[in-house]
Amino acid sequence: MCLAVPGKIISIAGDDPIFRNGRVNFGGIVKIVNLSYVPEAKIGDYILVHVGFGLSVVDEAEAKKVFEYLREMGELEELKEVSI
C-alpha cells in the first residue's frame, strides 16, 4: 500500500498550490502526477510517487551513500576471508 515509485519529471503544468501537476516518466511509462507536495521539484528531478502524488524529491547525493557506506565498512578487504 505504501509503495512509492521513483520517476523523472519531464514537464510541469500550473502553479496552483493544490492542482499543480506534471508528467513523470517511470522507465518509459508516463503518468500525470500531482506535484502539490513537492513545490521545490523541477523538470529533470526524480521524485517518489505514491498513488498519483509526488511525496519526496530523491536526493542524488544521499542516494549514493548506500554504496559509500559499503566501502566505509571496509568490507572489500575482509570479504576475502569469508565467502557465501
Partner 1 sequence: MKYIDEYRDADAAKKFTVAIHKITSKNWTLMEVCGGQTHAIVKFGIDELLPEKITLVHGPGCPVCVTPLELIDKAIQIASKPNVIFCSFGDMLRVPGSQKDLLMVKASGGDVRIVYSPLDAVKIAIDNPDKEIVFFAVGFETTAPANAMAVRQARALGIKNFSILVSHVLVLPAIEAVLSSPECRVQAFLAAGHVCAVMGFAEYFPIAAKYRVPIVVTGFEPLDILQGIYMCVKQLEEGRFEVENQYARAVRKDGNLPARNLVDEVFRIVPRKWRGVGEIPESGLGLTENYMDFDAEKRFEVSEYTAEEPAECISGLVLQGIKKPNECAAFGMRCTPENPFGATMVSNEGACAAYYRYRRHLSKIQTAEGIGV
Q: What is the largest CA-CA distance in the chain?
A: 58
Instruction: Please identify which residue in 13, 19, 42, 68 interacts with partner 1, judged by CB under 8 A.
Output: 19
| Angstrom distance (rounded) from CA 26 to CA 7 | 5
Residue 15 or 60 having the CB closest to partner 1: 60
Our finding on whether 50 is near partner 1 (CB under 8 A) is yes
Our finding on whether 43 is near partner 1 (CB under 8 A) is no
Yes or no: say if 33 and 21 are a contact pair by the CB < 8 Å rule: yes
Q: Which residues contact 11 (CB under 8 A, 6 or more apart)?
A: 22, 23, 43
Could you list the residues that contact partner 1 (CB under 8 A)?
Answer: 1-6, 8, 18-19, 26-27, 34, 36-39, 46, 48, 50-53, 55-56, 58-60, 62-63, 65-67, 69-70, 73, 75-76, 78-79, 82-84
